[in-house]
Amino acid sequence: MPLALDPNATFEIWLDSDAKIDAEKRPTFICKYLSDRELMLLGSMQGDAEAAEKAAAGGNKWAPSLAVFHDRLRASLVGWRNMIDPIARKAIPYAPDKTLDVLRLSEVVELLTKIGGHIHVSEDQAKKSERPSRIRSPRKSSKRSRR
């Protein structure tokens, strides 16, 4: 099954600033693999953000471009762990719309860069995704269609 279609094929990334935190406590983002079309959209994000800023003339010029970056992140992001509310000291459950509450633009760009660079799959990751094949041999028909 192609990785982009496998709902169980995920990879984990984290911010460089969190790299030294123990893996059990490190804020971690869980992402799905993107198809080539989704990767192309990821690559066109800067132009989309600039176009959104121009379209928002007179209003909050940052909001549309922020939305573009967060939308692109949510195309791959399927979960997270160890996101702790600094005031309540409780875990923040993952919800796609929470990225705006948790991340700054520079962090979103860092994560998008890591997602875009996660094109090649290691052998261990590929093995985690493997399942027995359900492909059947094509049936041979005794009748031939004529057109």
pLDDT tens digit sequence for 6-46 = 888 999 999 999 999 999 999 999 999 988 888 777 665 55
Of 10, 26, 30, the closest CA to residue 18 belongs to 26
Q: Domain for residue 137, yes or no?
A: no
Q: Domain for residue 135, yes or no?
A: no
Number of domains in the chain: 1
Q: Domain for residue 89, yes or no?
A: yes
Contact between residue 138 and residue 65 where contact means Cβ atoms under 8 Å apart: no
Q: Domain for residue 55, yes or no?
A: yes
**Range(s) of the domain holding residue 62:** 3-129
Q: What is the pTM of this model?
A: 0.69
Instruction: Pick out the chain residues at pLDDT < 70.
Output: 42-65, 118-147
Contact between residue 116 and residue 43 where contact means Cβ atoms under 8 Å apart: yes
At 68 the pLDDT is 81
At 14 the pLDDT is 96
Q: Domain for residue 62, yes or no?
A: yes
Residues in the chain: 147
At 117 the pLDDT is 78
Q: Is the dihedral of CA 118, 119, 120, 123 positive or negative?
A: positive
Q: Which residue has the tokens 């309540």?
A: 88
Q: Domain for residue 125, yes or no?
A: yes
